[in-house]
Amino acid sequence: MKSLLALIGFGVVAYVFVFVPLGSQTAFQHCQAIAATDEAQELRREAGAAAERLEEHVEGEWARIQDGGPPDAGPPAEPPPEQ
């Protein structure tokens, strides 16, 4: 029952977002106009470049983990002093 209500609520919100005008445009058209600005395009390019750098970093870390990482130093040369 909760899932059905959530689905109906989502449908209503989606309908309003796409079809109900807020002033001269719908919310969807407002979002399209904002996304078409030069600033939004620059943000998209910069976010894409940052995502690529993050992907390279994560892939490098994953490869390092899969290789077992750097060798272990092993056990201490002598046991710690007892107190």
- pLDDT for the residue 82: 78
- pLDDT for the residue 65: 83
Q: Which 3 state secondary structure label does DSSP give 33?
A: helix
Domain ranges of the chain: 22-67
- pLDDT for the residue 74: 72
Find the DSSP H helices in 1-83.
2-19, 27-35, 38-66
**Mean pLDDT by 10-residue block, N- to C-terminus, for the chain (83 residues)?**
96 98 96 97 98 97 77 71 74
- pLDDT for the residue 64: 83
- pLDDT for the residue 68: 67
